[in-house]
């Protein structure tokens, strides 16, 4: 199943940033799982039970160039004993933090689930543009819009030649890469969480940041997946 998701801003917080939160360029697998869970009605406390790597396959493709901006946001000052919205001596009730955001974010999501009930419910909700909880791009302030693209036939393939791949690629799947005219970046993103929301696995991924149609990354990989739309992907 394939669908697009987009929004004016996105923030997928990097786990190692604190006072000035930075964002990943692409939604991590964990964030996509939460977005799909929100659409079909799984709460943030339960969706992780249904989105392990054994149950769900997820890949992501960049559709809009990755543009990052930094904006200041007012947050509640939690250092005082109480959160009274008045100034207490030298302490302000609010603190201002600069956040990094992805501007005009748009991604294509490739999704498969071994449970037909979850897969069919997700398909139905996406097809009719409905959701149970409001989907967002990382944090609740950035509401996401989405569009169902279709349920596409897919097959696993192998090759010893260079293949043009459209999705973000786990670097451990790349045997050799052909650098062409493009802007290539890599990030280490979370791919799986435990039920208590502690991180279980990270994975380094590579992507071409401009999201140009047909650009992708040309590489040699052992195995990949080809859609009937001639898109080639590797799951995260």
- The 10s digit of each residue's pLDDT in 102-129 is 999 999 999 999 999 999 999 999 999 9
Tokens standing for residue 207 = 């992507």
What pLDDT score does 80 carry? 56
What pLDDT score does 222 carry? 87
* Domains of the chain in sequence order: 2-233 (3.30.70.2660)
SS3 label, residue 50: helix
Are the beta carbons of 135 and 122 closer than 8 angstroms? no
Residue in the structure block whose two tokens are 């509640």: 76
What sections of 71-201 are H helices per DSSP? 116-127
3-state helix, strand, coil in the chain (%, to 5): 15, 45, 40
What sections of the chain are H helices per DSSP? 29-40, 116-127
What pLDDT score does 28 carry? 95
Higher pLDDT, 145 or 81: 145
Tokens standing for residue 95 = 């603190």
Alpha-carbon distance of 36 to 51, in angstroms, equals 10
CA separation, residue 130 to residues 25, 120, 146, 148 (Å) = 26, 13, 9, 11
Tokens standing for residue 107 = 């991604």
Task: Name the pTM for this structure.
Answer: 0.89
């Amino acid at each position: 199943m394939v669908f697009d998701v987009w929004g004016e801003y996105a923030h997928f917080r990097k786990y190692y940033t604190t006072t000035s939160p930075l964002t990943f360029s692409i939604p991590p697998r964990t964030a996509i799982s939460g977005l799909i869970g929100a659409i079909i009605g799984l709460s943030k406390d339960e969706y992780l039970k249904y989105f392990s790597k054994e149950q769900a396959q997820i890949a992501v493709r960049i559709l809009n160039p990755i543009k990052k901006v930094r904006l200041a946001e007012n947050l509640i000052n939690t250092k005082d004993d109480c959160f009274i919205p008045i100034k207490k001596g030298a302490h302000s009730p609010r603190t201002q933090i600069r956040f990094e955001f992805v501007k005009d974010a748009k991604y294509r999501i490739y999704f498969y689930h071994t449970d037909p009930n979850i897969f069919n419910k997700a398909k139905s909700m996406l097809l009719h543009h409905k959701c149970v909880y409001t989907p967002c791009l990382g944090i609740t302030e950035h509401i996401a819009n989405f569009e169902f693209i279709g349920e596409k036939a897919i097959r696993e393939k192998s090759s010893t030649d260079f293949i043009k791949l459209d999705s973000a690629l786990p670097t451990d799947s790349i045997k050799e890469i052909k650098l062409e005219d493009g802007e290539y970046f890599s990030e280490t993103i979370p791919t799986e969480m435990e039920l208590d929301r502690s991180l279980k696995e990270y994975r380094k991924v590579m992507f071409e940041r401009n999201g140009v149609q047909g650009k992708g990354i040309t590489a040699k990989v052992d195995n990949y997946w080809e859609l009937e739309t001639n898109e080639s992907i590797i799951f995260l």
